[in-house]
Amino acid sequence: MSPNPDYVYCTICGMALDDGTVVLAGPYWPTYDAIPLETSNLGVIRYAAEVDHYPGKLFLLPSREEVYPQHPYHIDYQSDKQWDTAKAKMYMGIHAACDNLAQRALESVSNNKIVTISDLWFTLERRCASYLEQRLLERPSPTDMNYVPPITNNSPGQPLSLGFERYYVPVYCMEKWGDEWEGWWDEDPIKIIDLTSKLLSNLERLDGSSIQFSTEASSEQISDHVDNFFRDTKLFLKGDSNISQSIWKEIFLQIPFLWDLDVEAVNIKTDSDAGDGEKWNWEKLTRQVMSSPHAPPPDAASYRDEGVWSYNDVGLDVPDGFANRRRIWQILEDMSPNDVQAGIVAADTYTRTTKWVVYAGASKESLSKVGEVARTGFETKYSLPSGSEWVKVGAFAGDDHLRNSSVVPVTK
């Protein structure tokens, strides 16, 4: 894909930036340079910014310093001391709306892979590094001035595949060469008029027949959300599948990207008497709202866009801005640190080290020591306990503490 360089693109969602723009600044490591083991505190700086076109560029506010996003800049070791582990720095432009959603996603229990602003920066920075490395192997062209970084297309456990499908928007609408068309992806994902009333208009009364679903949220996706709900509320033991409609309602109310739902309006409509909660099909509505976008067909065009995802696919009638919110939220949930596998981790410099100490757990906060393993070169394999989602490996130098430790998600 070769976006029009006269515009600037959001590093999170891939669409052209507009008046509401935020710039993130942080360290950058070219792929030929080693990545530091510790990336938990990268000193990311946030700026308000103004977008300019022809060619696309950004002005940092209030200084109006001109920068070109997603390109390396030399570090000034006097003014950029917080990035002393890197040889370069980078600026990334993102929509203010995407910044808003990212902050909410970082705080959400449903997202256990990207939990800090440093995690987010490292993910985006590695995507840019991967793209720039590939361009070094090819002949650069003027369109490299502004670009959208390719992201992972493959499912977990499959070979790495990069592309633009998981931006969930027709490629023509991202490139802005004049053949784009308007769609729900252009709508404001934050300020959505009549969201609660439109959602409730889809809520069906139960008629006593069996409930069947076909195209709503995947079983894995809805299971994760349900598990998170019961883990937080401790209502019943995990594994009980007999969930009442009143419980499905509570699950619906805690969908993380429905923070602006008018709960009072929901209760007025559905709780007119004590047993009324069981008369509504909350399970179906929850599954519909949780349904995830799918990649558009490669030949999607304005005159034939029936293959482009929308909530209509699952029979849900909602404002277009809510579909865009769901798209961006899914992009954030898809992320994991260095998911494009760019660069190599710096070798530990403590040559006297003879063993690794391994910690693992279901979350970053619940890591416990699971063992020690002799170091053999730079690749050491170790079996982790069942349920391990995060692992911390550190070089043990015999002085009762870890050196060069790093907490990373388990790759399955």
| Tens of pLDDT, residue by residue, the chain (412 residues) | 789 999 999 999 999 999 889 999 999 998 777 788 778 888 999 999 999 999 999 999 999 999 999 999 999 888 888 888 888 999 999 999 999 999 999 998 776 788 999 999 999 999 999 998 887 766 555 556 789 999 998 877 788 889 999 999 999 899 999 888 899 999 999 999 999 999 999 999 987 554 554 444 555 555 555 555 544 444 443 444 578 898 999 999 999 999 999 999 999 988 755 456 578 999 999 999 999 999 888 776 665 666 889 999 999 999 999 999 999 999 999 999 888 887 776 644 333 334 557 777 777 777 788 776 654 433 445 567 777 776 666 544 443 444 444 555 555 4
Tell me how far apart the alpha carbons of residues 234 and 6 are, in angstroms, rounded to a whole number: 53
Average pLDDT over the chain, rounded to whole?
80
User: Where does 29-185 show beta strands of DSSP type E?
Assistant: 45-52, 57-61, 65-67, 72-74, 88-95, 151-152, 162-163
pLDDT given at position 202: 97
pLDDT given at position 82: 86
Q: For residue 359, what are its two tokens? A: 């910690």
pLDDT given at position 346: 60
Tell me how far apart the alpha carbons of residues 298 and 9 are, in angstroms, rounded to a whole number: 20
The full 3-state SS of 367-378, as one line of letters, equals: CEEEEEEECCCC
**In this predicted model, what pLDDT tens digit does every residue of 234-284 receive, in sequence order?**
444 344 457 889 899 999 999 999 999 999 999 998 875 545 657 899 999
**Residue 387: other Cβ atoms inside 10 A:** 9
pLDDT given at position 233: 43
Contact 227, 110 (CB under 8 A): no
> Residue 36: CB partners within 8 Å, gap ≥ 6?
29, 85, 86, 345, 346
pLDDT given at position 389: 72
What residue has token string 């970082």? Answer: 106
pLDDT given at position 236: 42
Tell me how far apart the alpha carbons of residues 129 and 147 are, in angstroms, rounded to a whole number: 12
Q: Could you give the count of Cα atoms lying within 13 Å of 412 in the half-sphere of its Cβ?
A: 11
| pTM of full prediction above 0.85 | no
pLDDT given at position 218: 53
What is the three-class DSSP state of 46? strand
- In single-letter form, the type of residue at position 39 comes to T
> Residue 334: CB partners within 8 Å, gap ≥ 6?
151, 152, 166
Report the candidate in 46, 5, 55, 40 with the shortest Cα–Cα distance to residue 25: 46
pLDDT given at position 76: 86
- In single-letter form, the type of residue at position 230 comes to F
